[in-house]
Structure 1
Amino acid sequence: MKRLMMIAIMLSTTFLNYANATNYTETKYPIVLVHGFLGFDDIQGYDYFYKIAQKLRQDGATVFTAQISSTNTTEIRGEQLLQQVKQFLALSGASKVNLIGHSHGGPTSRYVASVAPELVASVTSIGGVNKGSKVADLFYSVAPDGTLINTAGATIIGYISKIAQFLSGGSSLPVDPVGALKALTTYKSLAFNKKYPEGVPTTACGEGDPVVISTVNNVQHKVYYYSWTGNRLVTSPKDALIDVPLKAVSLLAFGSSWLGGEDNDGMVGVCSTHLGKVIGTYRMNHVDEINQVLGHTALFLSVPSLYRQHANRLKLQGL
């Protein structure tokens, strides 16, 4: 028994040493984290992707965090991200980037990869609104354009958006809550996919092309596509103020899982998040996917470790 315990300890130590190697997350190209709806890069040092960039940098990754409009159309956010990608490339001396987008950051990153594939090595969508969100659909079913509740809702979201951008130093960025909300609906998402179809599954809940080859100036460029998401709504008692409202919204938008409701992370249906190679579905909700709030997630689940493993995945792929 003692010998077996010693072997187990040696194996676990070897694994930990490997996983914590100084170059474990050292991708060939820089990683760019892209925030979602009502997101920000950081507010006074508090990150939208909570402690994720730091964990990636510890073991070799070069990481940038984009600062784009917290609410706007996918195309406008995409153009903002494209300009930042060019700046990040100039700073790093790299020729491409690995884009990792959460929520609305997923299609925002896809836009850049579609219009400038020569600058993008990979796109990873985390809880991405790739085929629309039933929460956005629900908003417009309850509050159609022109109604008082629609105007009030858009106004409140607009103020929250401006406050988040002011506190994060992005007050000059334009906000468009109506454009953002509509971009996240199923109807607008599917229209967006017709223009920018790369990596999007052609089946209801399947996988998309894991690699898309595009030709720019007679040179072929490969872009790799990945995705993952969550399907657990209440994950930590410390996050009850977030998890319980997410659960309520989920029941309204997606229905009860006991009665055949759609599997979701509280904001986006699992099938809607699929893009390219689907890595997995984990015990987390839409907020947990960015290690919020303050890293309080499901027991025995380390969200930063998922990002680290993915960085290593990109590294081994030569990206």
Structure 2
Amino acid sequence: MKVRLRALALGAGLSVFAGLGLTPTDAKAWGTDNYTDTKYPIVLAHGMSGFDQLFGIYQYFYAIPSALESSGADVYVTEVPQFNATEARGEVLLAQVEEILALTGAEKVNLIGHSHGGLDVRYVASVAPELVASVTSVGSPHGGAELADFLRNNLSEGGFGEAVLSIFANSLGDILSLLSGTSNEQDSIAALWSLSSMGAVEFNAAHPAGLPGSWCGEGQAVVDGIRYYSWSGDRALTNALDVSDPLLGLTTLVYDEDNDGLVGECSSHLGAVIRDDYRLNHLDEVNQAFGLVHLFGPDPKSLFRAHANRLKNEGL
């Protein structure tokens, strides 16, 4: 059974954990096997405009935590600023990782980040490698996102368009934060820079672990004792019933390479590349919306479960 950490902390008298917006599980779920029973807790990190749960019910990683818990995984879903620079988001994530370790007594965590969250987990592993057993990115723009470049190139710096985007995105972030019961500082212009190709160059120079040595290659699977993995999809339109598909079909027009609607196939590469061509779009990768994915594609929940088993078999 999932328990909000702030409620658990208050009930146990551990006020230091209150208000962090973390979502833990019980120590181990009552499952029929230990397929996903990793040595270290699994920490899920959302992407831009993400959240842990809206209204305490609707999950960003839709039905994925329970799928992992059912076979023994200890899962925590974090929340960071919806729109902000990777470094700012990463610092918030790092604080939550430290609290998870303090709460569980674990030595390290397995970090899994979707989209911008994949950059956040890289940041945490870079600045606090002693706390991290593995880093996995799912549909993350390690080489930048062409949509971010398109928006930056078509919005004059300090101009009206940039101001409108900033107001709209920051307000959206504030609303999502409110609905998830947290309070986060928003900076959409900084977020856009972080996801651009120039922002990626700057970030990658400071935090290079796991990056491919050449475009579309694979990076080192193990760096400083931390294992690095990645996977992504390469479809924008996957389910006619999913209302988000048309928008992703539109955004894919600014990309030169195969992509999931928001992130290019090669840009998603980090460490050992599990696959970069699943029949999934950017939202399908976290089982959105409401699990409406490609009829003949993989079940995202199964991908996360298989990866947890992979981590388990690596002793992580």
Q: TM-score, normalised by structure 2?
A: 0.88
1:242-269: CA deviations, max 9, x gaps? Answer: 1111111111x11xxxxxx311111011
Q: Which residue of 1 aligns with 2:239?
A: 236
1:289 lines up with 2:285 in the alignment: yes
CA distance in 2, matches of 1:184, 1:318: 33
SS in structure 2 of the partner of residue 26 of structure 1: coil
Structure 1: runs of 5 or more not aligned = 1-19, 214-221, 255-260
1:41-60: CA deviations, max 9, x gaps? Answer: 11121100000001000100
CA distance in 1, matches of 2:217, 2:186: 34
1:183 lines up with 2:183 in the alignment: no
1:248-297: CA deviations, max 9, x gaps? Answer: 1111x11xxxxxx3111110111001000000120010010110000000
CA distance in 2, matches of 1:110, 1:129: 12
Matched residues, number? 283
Q: Which residue of 2 aligns with 1:247?
A: 249
Paired residue type of 2:268: T
Paired residue type of 2:222: V
Superposition map of 1:41-190 within 5 A: 41-44=52-55, 45-171=57-183, 173-190=184-201
CA distance in 1, matches of 2:156, 2:209: 31
Identify the structure with the greater helix proportion: 1
SS in structure 2 of the partner of residue 38 of structure 1: coil
1:118-152: CA deviations, max 9, x gaps? Answer: 10000000001211000100001111212211111
Structure showing greater Rg: 1
Paired residue type of 1:189: A
Paired residue type of 1:30: P
Structure 2: runs of 5 or more not aligned = 1-30
User: Which one of the candidate residues 262, 265, 273 is aligned to 1:270?
Assistant: 265
Q: Which residue of 2 aligns with 1:14?
A: none
CA distance in 1, matches of 2:217, 2:153: 27
SS in structure 1 of the partner of residue 229 of structure 2: strand
CA distance in 2, matches of 1:144, 1:52: 40
Q: Please report how far the alpha carbon of residue 189 of structure 1 lies from its aligned counterpart in structure 2 after TM superposition.
A: 0.8
1:312 lines up with 2:301 in the alignment: no
SS in structure 1 of the partner of residue 251 of structure 2: helix
CA distance in 1, matches of 2:46, 2:168: 20
What is the percentage of aligned positions where both structures have the same residue? 49
CA distance in 2, matches of 1:288, 1:152: 29
CA distance in 2, matches of 1:21, 1:192: 43
SS in structure 2 of the partner of residue 68 of structure 1: coil
Q: TM-score, normalised by structure 1?
A: 0.87
Which consecutive segments of 4 or more residues in structure 1 shift more than 4 A?
A: none
Q: Which residue of 2 aligns with 1:3?
A: none
